[in-house]
Each structure stands twice: as structure tokens, then as C-alpha cells.
Structure 1
Amino acid sequence: MTLRKHILQNNTCNVVLSPVSVQLVLGLVAAGSESETLKQLLSFLKAESTDELNSLASHLVNHVFTGGSPSGGPILSLANGVWIDKSLSFKPFFSKIVDDVYKAAYDVLDFKNKANEAADKVNAWIKKETNGLFKDIVPRDQFDDETTKIVFANAIYFKGLWANKFDMLNTRKYDFHLLDDSSVHVPFMTSTITHYCISAFDGFKVLQLPYKHETDMRDISMYFFLPDAKDGLSTLVDKLASESGFLERHIPSVMERVGELRIPKFKMSFGFEASKALKELGVCAQCTVHFRKT
């Protein structure tokens, strides 16, 4: 959330960021690091040791991202990947962590002499793990620089249906307010259901929209944190980033009667070069990290 706040300060566009992806990729980097690089990564990730990071990664891989039923429940899957240049080799302890803890795919490629082939293999893996949503994420010229020796990748795939579907006939256009103080006229999904799990707090509201699931599966929901003020997003993000346990303390649990509920239909895509942001936040290790989310 600290990284999310930092990125938002320098953007007026939509920002899509997965904290879990950042956690797992940097956790993998930390597992193979030492000295000052490891110290900086542990400080940024607020962890005491790589054992702590590996324990969290194991929990996420084995218990949180446990698939789902294509027929009756949300599909939630996770994949990690590591590729190294043929001039290097995996140390046994690192191979064990990659295999046993992160359940990651890994391979040895020729980055220097077969850069296009290496990029194609990484992109093919990403495409497969995201059911075709991501294509050609890694540029072919990414490996032209002789300093590129290792590539880490994380892919999260989610697909779900609302527990209470929105009727397409009730879709209407309304103004949606942007961060640059302008607005756009866009379609809003409109619900006629009168009761939702929603709570109002000082300066913002939180809405829970559950996804359809089978009786033997865990509940998965989307939560909307909506500031009362049109320009209140940055203030809300400050609270999210600075107050420990903020999300957990503001999850609604009681069904309340609401008036008309409108949610904009949205499709968001965002990419950024994380190295600069991480350096500004105290991670100065010599590595380049790219993140793209859709």
C-alpha cells in the first residue's frame, strides 16, 4: 500500500496494482539475495528474515490461491516463474525455495544470443497462466542489454460472477469524476436490490459485492472504498498506507438498506517501471522490475 500511495502521487490516470504480486516477486528476489540488497528488500517488505517471507509465500500459494470451480465458483489462480541466463546456474538452496515454496516454473535461457526466443518463451508462459489475457508483455528487446541475467514473473488470474447479477436493461449513463477534476459520461451498472453489506465511515463508504460460489468454497468479494469528496482519493489512500490494519477494521459486516446503487462498468490497464519507485522508497538494489496489470 506504501508503493500504491507513491505511484498515485505521480499519476492522474487509473492505477491498477496487485500488492500480492509485488510481495511474491520481491520475496523471490530476496530469497536469492544477500548483504545490502537483502537488507533493503527486508526493510521495504517489513520482514525480519527470508524465512518470514517464505512462510508468507507458502501460505499464499497453498491456501489463498487454490483454484476454483469453473462451473460454480470464482476461479482464482497464481503462477510464479523464474528464468536465468545460461551463463548462470541455480544454486541448490534457491532451486529448492523456487520449487517447494513458490511452486514456480523455472528454466535456463540464452538471453544474450537468443533474446527473441527467450522473450517468446516468457510471454508464452504469461499468456498460458492468464488464460490468454496478457500477450507480449515482455518486449523482445528486453534482453538485449548484457546486464539482464534473471527474470522473475508473477501472474494472477481471477474470473467470477456476481452473486446478484446486474440487469443489462438497467444500465444507464452518468457522470464519472476523474482525478484531474474533469468528468466523463459512462455506463453505470444499476441495481434494484435494496439491501447490501455496506458501512459509512468518516469521509468514505465501503461496499461489499460478493461473487457467486459453491457451498463448499470460500467466499470471495470485491470491496469498493468510495471517498465522500470528489477529490478525496489521495486522503483515503494515505489512510490505507499509514494505518496498520486499516482494511480489516473497515470491512462491512451488516446488511443495510440503500437507495439506488450505481457502479461504473470499467476496464483498466496499467503498466509502470517499478525500479524508480522502489529506489525512491529505499530499495536501491541493481535490478529492474516491470509491472503490468489488467
Structure 2
Amino acid sequence: MKKQMMIAGLTLLSAAVVGACATKREKQRIDGMTAATPAEPIRLEHPEKVADDNAFTFDLLRAVRKHTDKANVFISPLSVSMALNMTLGGAAGTTADEMRTALHESGYSQADINAYSKRLREALLRADPQTTIGIANSIWYRQGETLRTAFTNANRTYYGAEVRPLDFASPRSPKVINDWCARQTRKRIPQIVDRIPSDAFLYLINAVYFKGTWARTFDKKNTKPAEFHKADGSTEKVQMMYRQGDYRYGTNDVCRYLEMSYGNGAFGMVVMLPQEGKTTRDVMASLSGERWKQMRQMNNEEVQLYLPRFRTECTYDLAKDILPGMGMKAAFSPEADFSGIALKPLRVSGVVHKTFVEVTESGTEAAAVTSVEMVLMSLPVDKKEPVLFRVDRPFVFAICERSTGAILFIGEIGEI
């Protein structure tokens, strides 16, 4: 059955590629420009898993929104899933089953997950020479302890993880881990560990960094002060960018959406603006793996685009309510089974997720770090006129790899 799904997925992907390359002009048009070297579609051994990953993305987004009262939400599902998949490699029994269910990976073996993660990571890193992207993993364990060889070898091989012993009793140890995070995120996430508790055994950390230049940048001369209607009903002055040009555009019953591409077109940002009478909560509630695939089918339209410059930073404790609420409970409990990591009984004591994003006339910079702390247990319609797309109220946006639809970052902006 898995093999048939894989063949069907490849057939659908091939059909999509053929359709996307129908004409030379369409192939080379990216936001109204001709790309010297158009991006090549990413081909994965299990292309259907992208939809499963995106289903986890939308579940996580809704769970985070449910447990925060902040106007802005911004996460990197890629960072969270990669950190948790490294951890999953050492889980067993109910602990592993719950983690796979929450991650939408129940139909895959650990070998499938590891191989897919490796191919996706390598493909994303080389997808666009014009876009800076980094995906790094590391494991830090208490000096003097021993990790199972199979666990460390798998994380080195499939996740490119650095595995290092560290003297957790030293007051300098948090700085060692934080300096690694700062390097991987170009100093955008300078700290992930405040202190190392006395019972800490292991940290599994993922860092994702993205910096892309718009395929067609905004002219700063067209940026003007404008009003943005905040989620709480009040208004604020923002710097509103403007550009009229050719964009991929679509609409459904909940939102209108537009895609702006970066660099050679491998990556793009999709901005989702709620329809009149709808809210960003309605947009997030409607998102699913199938809905996202439908939304990827956009048409080229002439659009008058107004988009505010914005920047936001977020921090989440995923171990408190969010992941347990998604069904991942055993991993945090005394019943946790991580016997594949070490001989000593372990449980997950914290999952901290920090993010950063800034959108300007030239492009987008985004970063994320996810830290898993483990401790020893005590015991569309054709338009004759340009489409007006004025982002002057709360919106949802996602940064994705365009050929697969794989989402790297996703968020809701309720205030600037």
C-alpha cells in the first residue's frame, strides 16, 4: 500500500510539473520577471508525506493560537518536527505511538522518517543559490553519560546532527549552547537555554534560518504611512509597501491569497487575507493538508499589492499544554519510554520554540530554534482590472518551498 501511495504521489507530482511547465513563457515567469535559472521541482521518495507534515503544521498553528493571547503568532513547523523526529528515534511503546500520531507519521517507520528528513533537508538547502537557508541540528548530553550508539549514529547520518558531551554543572554551559544557536540563526535567536537544571541529561536542538530577496522587490519610494486595523479593533500607523505587478493569486470561501516568490522561485510567501465577514481564526480553522493543496493551484493575475513592513519575535513553551493537547502526553510523564536513547530512564521536560521574522521591501529574514530538554526521571475568476490586495488588517502568512508546498514557517499577524 505504501509503495502504491508513493507511485501515485510521484504520478501526481509529475503531472503538476508538466502542467506548470506548459509553456516556456509560463515556466520562466516569476512575479512578472524572467528568471535566468528557474528553480527545479524537489522530488522526494515519499512526496505524499508533505501533506502529512502540513497537517501537523496546521494542528500546531491552531494549538499555539489557542494557548496564547498575543496578537501575533509565528512558528516554524519544520524546526519543531525535525527536533521531535530526532527525539522520536529514541522513543518506544506508547511514547513513540503518541509522538507519531501527533506528528501525523503513524503510517511511516522510523527508517522512512529518517530517510525523508534527510532528503528534504538536503533538497531545501540546495533549492535556491540566491536564498540563504540553514537547517542545523545538535545534541548536547551530560558529560560522563553514555548515549546508545544507534541513536547517535542515526541523528548524525540523517539529520547532520553534531553530538557533543558538555559539563552541565559548569556555569558556562548555557552560553556554549546559546552561542551555537546564535551562529546558526545569524544572531536572530541568541538564546534558547536560560539555565541547565541539575537533573538535565540531554538537549536536542534544531535551528532554521531563512533569508530571501523578493524576485521582484518593492520600491522604497512607494512605501507610505497607512492605517492597519489591529485584531483588537483599534488602528495603528504602519509603513505600507506598494507594488503593482503579476502575482499568483487565488480565492476561496474563507480568504483571498497571493504568493510572492523569492530568488529563483524555489521559495515563496503566501499571504492569506480573510474575506469580508471572516477572521484570521476562520482562515486557520479551514486549513488542512487537502485545502493547502487546493490553494497551491493559483492563477497569474495583475495585482495592486499593499503589504505592511513588519517584524515580530515569539517564544513558546510547547511542553505546557500545546504538545500534550495534541496527544503527545506520555513523553512528558513518568511513563515515558526513551530506552532507545540511553540506559537510564528519561522523559521530556521542556520543548522551547523561539522564532523571528522581518519583512521589508527587499525580502524576508526568518529564524527559529527548537530545544527539546530531557531529564532523568526520578525514578479563481479572470479580472479585467487589477486585483486590489490591501493587507491593512490581520492576516495569515506562510513561507514554503513552492514545488512541494512544504511549509517552513507560518504565522498570524494581528498587529504590526
Same fold at TM > 0.5: yes
Structure 1 residues without counterparts, runs of 5 or longer: none
Q: Distance in 1 between matches of 2:289 and 2:297?
A: 18
Q: Distance in 2 between matches of 1:187 and 1:264?
A: 6
Aligned with residue 211 of structure 1, among 255, 262, 266: 262
Aligned with residue 274 of structure 2, among 223, 227, 239: 227
* Correspondence 1:248 to 2:288: no
Aligned with residue 36 of structure 1, among 73, 88, 94: 94
> CA deviation digits over 1:90-143, x for unaligned, max 9?
2110111111100111101121x21x322111111111111222212321x2x1
Structure 2 residues without counterparts, runs of 5 or longer: 1-57, 333-347, 357-416
Query: In structure 1, the residue corresponding to 2:75 is in which secondary structure?
Result: coil
Q: Distance in 2 between matches of 1:50 and 1:181?
A: 47
* Correspondence 1:272 to 2:290: no
Question: Is the alpha carbon distance of 1:68 and 1:106 closer, same or farther for their aligned partners in structure 2, counting shifts above 3 Å?
Answer: farther
Contact 2:254 2:278 (C-alpha < 8 Å) held by counterparts: no
Could you say which residue in structure 1 is the equivalent of 2:344?
none
* Correspondence 1:22 to 2:80: yes
Shift of 1:244: 2.9
Q: Which has the higher strand share?
A: 2
> CA deviation digits over 1:1-40, x for unaligned, max 9?
1011011123342111011111101101110112222121
Count how many residue pairs are aligned between Structure 1 and Structure 2: 278
Q: How does 1:153-192 map to 2 (within 5 A)?
A: 153-192=205-244
Contact 2:125 2:135 (C-alpha < 8 Å) held by counterparts: yes
Q: Distance in 1 between matches of 2:268 and 2:208?
A: 16
Contact 1:186 1:264 (C-alpha < 8 Å) held by counterparts: yes
Contact 1:130 1:155 (C-alpha < 8 Å) held by counterparts: yes
Higher alpha-carbon deviation: 59-68 or 20-29 = 59-68
Could you say which residue in structure 2 is the equivalent of 1:122?
177
Query: In structure 2, the residue corresponding to 1:160 is in which secondary structure?
Result: strand
Contact 1:67 1:76 (C-alpha < 8 Å) held by counterparts: no
RMSD: 1.7
Query: In structure 2, the residue corresponding to 1:138 is in which secondary structure?
Result: coil
Q: How does 1:36-75 map to 2 (within 5 A)?
A: 36-48=94-106, 49-66=109-126, 68-69=128-129, 73-75=130-132
Q: Which has the higher contact order (CA 8 A, sep 6+)?
A: 2
Name the aligned partner's letter for residue 187 of structure 2.
Answer: G
Shift of 1:180: 2.1
Query: In structure 2, the residue corresponding to 1:54 is in which secondary structure?
Result: helix
Normalised to the residue count of structure 1, the TM-score between the two structures is 0.89
Could you say which residue in structure 2 is the equivalent of 1:107?
164
Contact 1:171 1:190 (C-alpha < 8 Å) held by counterparts: yes
Contact 2:156 2:162 (C-alpha < 8 Å) held by counterparts: yes
Shift of 1:87: 4.2
Aligned with residue 98 of structure 1, among 137, 143, 155: 155
